[in-house]
Structure 1
C-alpha cells in the first residue's frame, strides 16, 4: 500500500472556488464556466452549499441552441426557461477535508462522479476533481 494515498484530500483539493448563488441565472453560470475554464460550480444559498452545477447540465438544455459559443455575450432564450435550481444536482455526496485521497478516488470511481465538494461542519472548504486525483497519482511516480 502506498502511504501517500492515505493523506487527506485537503492536500490536493482546490480551495479558491468559483461559486454561484442559487438566485443567479444560467447565462452567468455559462460565463463563469468559460471564463475560468472549469466544469463544475458549487451552488450556494445563504453561503451554504445546496447543489452542484456542471457544464454538462447546461449543454444538455442548450445543445440545439448553440451552447458553448466562443462569444462572452450570452443572449440565449433557452436560459430564461430554466433556473440553476432546476438543473443542479442537489442532495450531494460530499467528503471532508480529512477524507483520504484513496477514499475520494474510490468514491469517484464507484459512483462515476467527476468531482466532489469538500465540506467540513456544513461549510464548503473546497472541491476535488478527477483531474486533481490524476495529477496527484502522476506526481507520486
Structure 2
C-alpha cells in the first residue's frame, strides 16, 4: 500500500479545517463551565472529579476557581458556605453573575497572571534548551 496516496493534509479534511479549530474560551466561559462541573459532581457524589466544595453536616463550603486560584466571592473571602439544600441554586446564581461580567476585573487580573506565568515557563524551557550540557 502506498500510504502517500491515502493521506491528505488535515486542513483539507472535513472536521479538521482551520475554521473548525477550537476557539479560545474566555475566562468567564471557563468559570461557568467549572461551576457546571461542580454542580454535576455535587449531584453525583460517586463520580470522579476534583471537587471545590466540602460538605459538613447540612452545610457546604466552597470556592469558585479560575486557573487554580479562587475568586473573591464576598469582599476578600474566597471560601463561603451555604446550606446544602441551597448549594446548586447559589452556584447557578454565581454563574449568572460570572456570565454578566460581575467578576471580570478579577478574571482579567488572573488571566494576566496566567499569561505571565506561561511566558516565564516558556522562557525557562528555551533557556534550558540553549544551555550547554554539562
TM exceeding 0.5: no
**Superposition TM-score, scaled by structure 1 size:** 0.28
Q: Which has the higher contact order (CA 8 A, sep 6+)?
A: 1
Higher helix share: 2
Which structure has the larger Rg?
2
**Superposition TM-score, scaled by structure 2 size:** 0.29
